[in-house]
Amino acid sequence: MNPAQPRILFATDLSRWAEGAEQYACALAASWGAALTVVSVLEFPPGMNPDYPVNRLYLGELLKQATRELVELKARASARSVPVKTRIATGIPSQEVSAAAEEEDADLIVVGTRGKTGLEHVVLGSTAERIIRTAPCPVLAVRAKKPGADEARSLALHRLLVPVDFSDCSLDALEYAATVAQREKASLKLLHVLEPVSYGLDFTLLHAAKREQTRDAMTARLSALASAVSGVGLTAEYELRGGMPADSILDAVRQADADLLVMGTHGRRGISHAFYGSVAEAVLRRADCPVLTVRSPKFQPGHRPVVAPRGERATNPETKE
């Protein structure tokens, strides 16, 4: 395999919910000239004995069905001139997908998501979100269309929206978004959300002057980042808006008619994740367009940075981090 060739891993449960993700995986593989590997995981909870006759029969039937459906998937990809390598794993889907990405040295994982919200999300969770928290590379999550919904949007990625809070992970996402925009000949829009100000016990606004200074400082930084992106030949603009991050980001996606949302994520787990939550995951559950989350960006050899490397970046004007 050419070491400079991008490698895409498409994780699928072979259900109708994964159809949209399959289309994006094949489209990106074709436009990027990438090697495409498809992995399907036969879900088998830990603690169950695979050698027990009933379990062996159950796994055997799953294997037959998955093998048959992967052959059909390869035929569909071949019709689009996209060669595909397939693999089947057994175990917990999120763990097996992350392991496959490591073994394949994947540059991008593509996965479908049903966009669960509310009680359904609390009870059932999301395989896509678990993959995002542990994946060794960026993850493109494509939300499935509900039955009876309008036809899927165009697969072309013309307009990319990148929320930036000036943290390292959001700037890494911007760097990766610029790479995607170069491949897709797309434009970028940078967005920073200025969260609501605090109120004192007497309900008066605190630090109004400092808030204005912060707004001016962040506007200047957004402008500088947009200029850096424009400096590599891309079309870039920026916007500063107020509100709660997830809601403001989703509003910006709709108003910009974005084809792709690119977000950084800390990949928190356990107690930290339960306490702080994740803006990326909140957006993922509600966004209509695909969401590309970047926790561990991977770049091709010879990549020239668009934004400053981590050690040379300025501090966040809101948090002084």
User: Which of 103, 122, 155 lies at the terminal end of a domain, its last residue?
Assistant: 155
Q: How confident is the model at residue 288 (pLDDT cuts 50, 70, 90)?
A: confident
* CA dist list (Å): 155 to 25, 123, 182, 185, 248: 10, 32, 16, 13, 24
111 and 166 both lie in a single domain: no
pLDDT tens, residue by residue, 166-215:
988 899 999 999 999 999 999 999 999 988 764 454 545 556 677 788 88
DSSP-derived letter for residue 199 is B
Record the tokens describing residue 58, joined without a space.
């159950």
Half-sphere exposure of 318 (CA within 13 A, CB side): 15
pLDDT tens, residue by residue, 244-257:
999 999 999 999 99
174 and 245 both lie in a single domain: yes
219 and 85 both lie in a single domain: no
Number of domains in the chain: 2
183 and 149 both lie in a single domain: no
- Per the model's pLDDT, the better-predicted residue between 57 and 137 turns out to be 137
180 and 267 both lie in a single domain: yes
150 and 176 both lie in a single domain: no
Average pLDDT, the chain: 83
User: Which of 128, 155, 182 lies at the terminal end of a domain, its last residue?
Assistant: 155
162 and 290 both lie in a single domain: yes
**φ and ψ at residue 35, rounded to 5 degrees:** -80, 130
147 and 216 both lie in a single domain: no
CATH number of the domain bearing residue 51: 3.40.50.620
User: Which of 101, 128, 155 lies at the terminal end of a domain, its last residue?
Assistant: 155
Q: Determine whether 143 is exposed, middle or buried from the number of CB atoms within 10 Å of its CB (0-12, 13-18, 19+).
A: buried
SS3 137: coil
Domain that holds residue 289: 158-321
pLDDT tens, residue by residue, 63-87:
999 999 999 999 999 999 999 999 9
> Rounded distance, CA 84 to CA 70, Å?
10
187 and 138 both lie in a single domain: no
174 and 272 both lie in a single domain: yes
299 and 170 both lie in a single domain: yes
83 and 178 both lie in a single domain: no
SS3 54: helix
162 touches 174 (CB < 8 A): yes
Q: How confident is the model at residue 146 (pLDDT cuts 50, 70, 90)?
A: low
